[in-house]
Structure 1
Amino acid sequence: MRISYKLATAFLPVAFLMLAGCAQTSQMAQNDTGPTAKTAPGLWSAYDATFKTAKYIDLTHAFAPVQPVWPGFGNAKFKAAVAGQDIPGYVSVGEEFTYAKHGFVATAYDLPTDQYGTQLDPPAHWNPMGATISDLPATYSVRPLVVINIADKVAKDQGYYLHVSDIEDWEQKHGLIPEGSVVMVRSDWYKRWDDINSFNETPFPGVGLEALKFLHLKRHILFHGHEPLDTDTTPNLEGEYWLMHNNFTQAEGVANLDKVPEAGALISIGFAKPLGGTGGYARYVAIAPADWKYGVTLADAPGAPLPEQPYPLKRDENGVMRPTAD
């Protein structure tokens, strides 16, 4: 099995540190050094050495009341949450929660479909015997990330499909696709997201059935992802049908793949977990090496405390909370 130099150098330090961390933990247990030990236990050493300085790239569209959606569904509606029952002296049933009166606000979402925005499709989307979103294991968490770029071909033919030959070209440069990885197909279609008519144009870039079979049956990936909201433009959506009836998942509506290295990065996979859900509102984040040109580090965005808004939050005409100058 050939592993690319870039991929190997990206992951060997993590693997080494994980092993070293486990050895340190074992030694600490033997020596009973307790909480005063200076060595980081378990995987914390890998985090300190690699993930603290890594670059993080969000691959996710925020879902909104106005955005592209398959026309068979509808758009979401956002509105202020209201009290569902009386709390004497505090709130009456049907009353909207406000900062001024109650000290907090909340939002109610009317979501006509779980196939909305950046998503993770489980087999149950098409397969009556398939796993639902709440059945997916915790191992859907962090995986190697592969990005196959077909954007140049899509620029010449917007209906271009990923072919097996595109996968083989990637492997000529980077080595075999790692087993259990996530393969994202870059088409740059996501750049049309804010122009709904343009995004919904047909044909759009697809992923061919033979390419899907190759990725799953030959390379044994976890799942693939693409930027449009469908896998292909065939009359029966043959790619999506094959995936779901063979108990595979897929990502749709992915963004920013032009800002991610083709090899050597990881992907963090997060999704809502409604019981028995047939789709998942997903959050995908690429984790790239520290010297990658795009993304933010923990030093750039530590996350706690978060920065305040430039103006107070108010609901716009679609019910979305936005900072608004008076």
Structure 2
Amino acid sequence: MIKPALTLIAALLASPASAQDLSKGTWVDLTHAFNSESVYWPTAKMFEHTEVFAGHTDGGYFYSSYDFASSEHGGTHLDAPVHFAEGANSSDKIPVEQLIGPGFVIDVTKQSADNVDYLVSATDIEAFEAEHGKIPEGAIVLLNTGRAGLYPDREIYMGTAARGQEAVADLHFPGLGLDGAKLLVERGIGAVGLDTPSIDFGQSTDFASHVELMTNNVAAFENVADMSALPTTGSMIIAMPMKIEGGSGGPLRIIAHLPGD
């Protein structure tokens, strides 16, 4: 499933001349910074960053150190397949090849603006392919709903700023429909990401798209930052999550490389 992504990476790194391509072009950070305002699921532990020491020591040099704690699932983060599929890959078991690959950005900003609960469908994906070609195996597919600009205002971004189980019923944001998830699995993609708190839309109660993707060991990236600078095709996506042994997810740094002179 991931051989085309490997081929692309190998081509880029095959010779010193090719490797220099990564020093050219543009790098785009698709990651929201982690802080006290980071968006987490209403039932998840929020991000905490606590100072251990920051200042000048008795030895005369400056030193700073902090503790952090949070749920695996919040801010820009990974959903490992084991999050919704027993026995599937945990964070540390996802092949690196699934986290690096050619980027395909499907723009559904208009649909999402018209319908906050919009589901990206197989029809949307097929329309994209009709214009840009079939999505290849090993691709990293990013769904641009246009919601990243609303982050981190939880009330607007996810439908409620309330905390606790009762708040889940008030969540509203777009997601990937089950038929869309099935088509992406058929395509053999490495991973899929979007700029909302969940691959499934806010009103989901069965998390069917999570289940479909993750029972097939397809990872997901959630709360991806602004994708507006990315081309529809032609970028390389590099998504490096914290490597938590046995983890169901974790904080993610995701970037894109855009080729150029």
Which residue in 2 is equivalent to 1:220? 188
Of 13, 16, 31, the residue aligned with 1:44 is: 16
Separation (CA, whole Å) in 2 of partners of 1:239 and 1:141: 19
Which residue in 2 is equivalent to 1:139? 97
Report the 3-state secondary structure (helix = DSSP H, G, I; strand = E; otherwise coil) of the residue aligned with 2:58. helix
Separation (CA, whole Å) in 1 of partners of 2:131 and 2:106: 11
**Corresponding letter in the other structure for 2:191:** F
1:203 is aligned to 2:172: yes
Report the 3-state secondary structure (helix = DSSP H, G, I; strand = E; otherwise coil) of the residue aligned with 1:243. helix
Task: Please list the CA deviations of residues 94-125 of structure 1 after superposition, one character each: whole Å capped at 9, or x if unmatched.
Answer: xx4533436311111122x1112111111221
Which residue in 1 is equivalent to 2:55? 98
Which residue in 1 is equivalent to 2:235? 265
The runs of at least 4 consecutive aligned structure 1 residues that moved more than 6 Å come to none
2:240–2:252 Cα contact (<8 Å) kept = yes
Report the 3-state secondary structure (helix = DSSP H, G, I; strand = E; otherwise coil) of the residue aligned with 1:176. coil
Which residue in 1 is equivalent to 2:44? 73
Which residue in 1 is equivalent to 2:165? none
Which residue in 1 is equivalent to 2:76? 118
1:141 Cα deviation (Å)? 4.5
Normalized per residue, which structure has more strand? 2
Separation (CA, whole Å) in 2 of partners of 1:159 and 1:138: 32
Which residue in 1 is equivalent to 2:4? none
Report the 3-state secondary structure (helix = DSSP H, G, I; strand = E; otherwise coil) of the residue aligned with 2:213. helix
Report the 3-state secondary structure (helix = DSSP H, G, I; strand = E; otherwise coil) of the residue aligned with 1:98. strand
Compared with structure 1, are the counterparts of its residues 141 and 208 closer, same or farther at alpha carbon in structure 2 (3 Å cutoff)?
closer
**Corresponding letter in the other structure for 2:192:** H
Compared with structure 1, are the counterparts of its residues 274 and 262 closer, same or farther at alpha carbon in structure 2 (3 Å cutoff)?
same
* 1:170-209 paired onto structure 2 within 5 Å: 170-201=128-159, 202-209=171-178
**Corresponding letter in the other structure for 2:19:** Y
Identity %: 27
Which residue in 1 is equivalent to 2:166? none
Report the 3-state secondary structure (helix = DSSP H, G, I; strand = E; otherwise coil) of the residue aligned with 2:233. coil
1:194 Cα deviation (Å)? 2.7
Report the 3-state secondary structure (helix = DSSP H, G, I; strand = E; otherwise coil) of the residue aligned with 2:243. coil
Relative to the length of structure 1, the TM-score reads 0.69
Task: Please list the CA deviations of residues 7-45 of structure 1 after superposition, one character each: whole Å capped at 9, or x if unmatched.
Answer: xxxx99x84x75xxxxxxxxxxxxxxxxxxxxxxx4322
Which residue in 1 is equivalent to 2:86? 128
Task: Please list the CA deviations of residues 240-278 of structure 1 after superposition, one character each: whole Å capped at 9, or x if unmatched.
Answer: 122223322111110111110001111112111121111
* 1:149-168 paired onto structure 2 within 5 Å: 149-168=107-126
1:198 Cα deviation (Å)? 0.7
Separation (CA, whole Å) in 2 of partners of 1:265 and 1:67: 27
**Could you say which structure has the greater relative contact order, defined with CA pairs below 8 angstroms and 6 or more residues apart?**
2
Separation (CA, whole Å) in 2 of partners of 1:141 and 1:211: 20
**Corresponding letter in the other structure for 1:222:** G
Of 53, 56, 75, the residue aligned with 2:27 is: 56
Larger Rg: 1
**Corresponding letter in the other structure for 1:44:** P
RMSD: 2.0
Consecutive unaligned residues in structure 1, runs of 5 or more: 1-10, 19-41, 82-95, 292-326
1:239 is aligned to 2:214: no
